């Protein structure tokens, strides 16, 4: 057995994983290909570079990402320590001085006596060495080929095309009805019907809404198989009516006459607290998604757990290949962390890196890897990416909808989130004591 653990990728997840391992007294070799080989988004040679926004999103515990950050603080996260030290004023968000943040992470890792940073592209992964692979959404082509080999090609994707996800409790069930097309199987879809007036207004809004500009390296995807709903709509007034909004097989004869379109929503988690808009992958700006989709009858008060998006993103189909410990099912010495594992966002990537670091260390010491408590944000995120439906898996941000609901129904959202956060932090404290 090697006398060190290998971490590939010195981004947010890899930096956190390396730190967690080294802090447990184990030598780490951290492979980072920059500056010799750059990605299409990174600009520097710094570890943990933030590629776009300088915000780690909401700070408050009544926001799920605020909770996830607090859990990481409890678990001695390097990224959280550096973020808190380089924080700049940004209202309710935890924003950082981008350069100062990445410089501080880099300095901490370079100065750690047990960490060696190797500036090279890794192109192979051995299944008999403990290795954390955290090469992110822009994993180099050489390594992506290797990961495709290890996970089976079918389970590695290069783009995400995600439809928005809506909280089930915000859908008006007096307007939406349960049915499956042609009554095949059980009535698993919630259907929102539109009459001609409603469809015309929706169509008009959809085809004139503002979209995010598509980057060159993202273009090919948008015009391949998985087309954004707004691009499809541009092809003509009828296109959606014969595509994702087709009403056939969903209504009885009486209603068929009035209804020209049906928007379908499918459960996104087993608890049925989240619903995915079928076929609605989109590049509309987030504010526009809210405005346009709330024009659909039944969704007037919809709250979004995740907005739709389309961008370059390398990730594995975790429900098929990953354990909630971040180990590959087939090769348990290989752990996959960060965006590559199907979580979405800086904070979520870091959190999965933190867990990979803990579990890689446990494997090194001959201990069984651990799964974080289901009631925690970290546990719920891992539960989602490894247990959700595999057939249309898309990377996910943390939201309170992923946590198991409270026993009592509480209407006040802030109070409900506070109680969920309290329960989660208690669970993480107890778990930390056990591990």
Ligand X SMILES: Cc1cc2nc3c(=O)[nH]c(=O)nc-3n(C[C@H](O)[C@H](O)[C@H](O)COP(=O)(O)OP(=O)(O)OC[C@H]3O[C@@H](n4cnc5c(N)ncnc54)[C@H](O)[C@@H]3O)c2cc1C
Binding site for ligand X (CB under 6 A): 8-14, 31-34, 39, 41-42, 51-53, 121-122, 134-140, 143, 312, 338-340, 345-346, 349
Q: By C-beta, is 117 or 233 nearer to ligand X?
A: 117
The Cα 66–Cα 62 span in angstroms is 7
Strand boundaries in 253-387, DSSP class E: 259-267, 274-277, 304-306, 309-316, 334-336
Q: 143 or 335, CB closer to ligand X?
A: 143
CA distance 136 to 121: 13
Q: Please, what is the minimum distance in Å from the beta carbon of residue 8 to ligand X?
A: 5
Minimum CB separation of residue 32 from ligand X in Å reads: 5
Supply the minimum distance, in Å, between the C-beta of residue 198 and ligand X.
35
Instruction: Provide the edge-to-edge strand list for the sheet that holds 55-58.
Output: 55-58, 93-96, 87-88
Give CA angle at 317 (126, 371), nearest 5°: 75
**Residue 136: CB minimum distance to ligand X, A:** 2
User: CA-to-CA distance for 101 and 80, rounded, in angstroms?
Assistant: 10
CA distance 154 to 132: 21
Torsion of CA 342, 92, 426, 372, to 10 degrees: 10
Distance CA 334, CA 357 (A): 12
Q: How far is the CB of 91 from ligand X (least distance, A)?
A: 17
Cis preceding linkage at 35, omega within 30? yes
Q: Do 143 and 19 meet the contact criterion of CB atoms below 8 Å apart?
A: no
CA distance 153 to 106: 34
The residue number with the shortest CB distance to ligand X is: 11
How crowded is the C-beta side of 172, counted as CA atoms within 13 Å? 13
In the bound state with ligand X, the residue whose beta carbon lies nearer, of 91 and 185, is: 91
Phi/psi for 298 (5° steps) reads 100, -20
Residues whose CB is less than 8 angstroms from the CB of residue 370 and which lie 6 or more positions away in sequence, other chains included: 325, 358, 359, 362, 431, 435
Closer residue to ligand X, CB minimum distance, 96 or 190: 96
How many angstroms separate the Cα of 27 from the Cα of each of 18, 104, 114, 117, 360?
9, 20, 5, 11, 12
Q: What's the helix, strand, coil split of the chain in %, to 5?
A: 40, 20, 40
Q: Distance between CA atoms of 187 and 277, rounded to whole angstroms?
A: 16
């Amino acid at each position: 057995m090697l006398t060190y653990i290998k971490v590939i990728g010195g981004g947010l997840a890899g930096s956190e994983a390396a730190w967690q391992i080294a802090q447990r007294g184990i030598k780490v070799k951290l492979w980072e290909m920059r500056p010799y080989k750059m990605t299409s988004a990174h600009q520097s040679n710094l570890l943990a570079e933030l590629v776009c926004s300088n915000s780690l999103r909401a700070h408050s515990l009544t926001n799920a990402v605020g909770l996830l950050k607090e859990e990481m603080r409890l678990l001695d996260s390097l990224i959280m320590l550096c973020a808190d030290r380089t924080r700049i004023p940004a209202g309710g968000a935890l924003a950082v001085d981008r350069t100062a943040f990445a410089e501080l992470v880099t300095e901490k890792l370079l100065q750690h006596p047990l960490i060696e940073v190797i500036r090279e592209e890794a192109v192979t992964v051995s299944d008999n060495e403990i290795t954390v692979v955290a090469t992110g959404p822009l994993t180099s082509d050489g390594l992506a080929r290797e990961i495709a080999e290890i996970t089976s090609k079918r389970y590695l994707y290069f783009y995400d095309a995600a439809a928005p996800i809506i909280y089930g409790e915000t859908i008006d069930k007096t307007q939406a009805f349960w049915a499956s097309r042609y009554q095949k199987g059980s009535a698993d879809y919630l259907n929102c019907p539109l009459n001609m007036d409603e469809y015309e207004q929706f169509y008009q809004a959809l085809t004139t809404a503002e979209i995010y500009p598509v980057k060159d390296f993202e273009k090919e995807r948008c015009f391949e198989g998985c087309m954004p709903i707004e691009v499809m709509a541009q092809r003509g007034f009828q296109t959606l009516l014969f595509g994702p909004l087709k009403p056939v097989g969903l209504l009885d004869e009486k209603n068929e006459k009035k209804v020209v379109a049906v928007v379908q929503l499918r459960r996104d988690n087993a608890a049925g607290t989240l619903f995915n808009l079928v076929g609605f992958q989109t590049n509309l700006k987030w504010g526009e998604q809210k405005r346009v989709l709330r024009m659909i009858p039944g969704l007037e008060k919809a709250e979004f757990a995740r907005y739709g998006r389309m961008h370059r993103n390398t990730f594995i189909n975790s429900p098929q290949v990953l354990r909630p410990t971040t180990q590959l099912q087939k090769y348990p010495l290989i752990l996959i962390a960060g965006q590559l594992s199907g979580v979405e966002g800086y904070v979520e990537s870091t959190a999965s890196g933190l867990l990979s670091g803990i579990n890689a260390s446990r494997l090194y010491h001959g201990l069984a890897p651990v799964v974080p408590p289901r009631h925690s944000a970290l546990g719920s995120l891992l539960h989602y990416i490894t247990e959700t439906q595999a057939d249309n898996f898309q990377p996910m941000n943390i939201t309170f909808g992923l946590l198991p609901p409270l026993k009592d129904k509480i209407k006040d959202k802030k109070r409900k989130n506070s109680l969920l956060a309290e329960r989660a932090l208690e669970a993480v404290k107890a778990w930390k004591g056990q591990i």
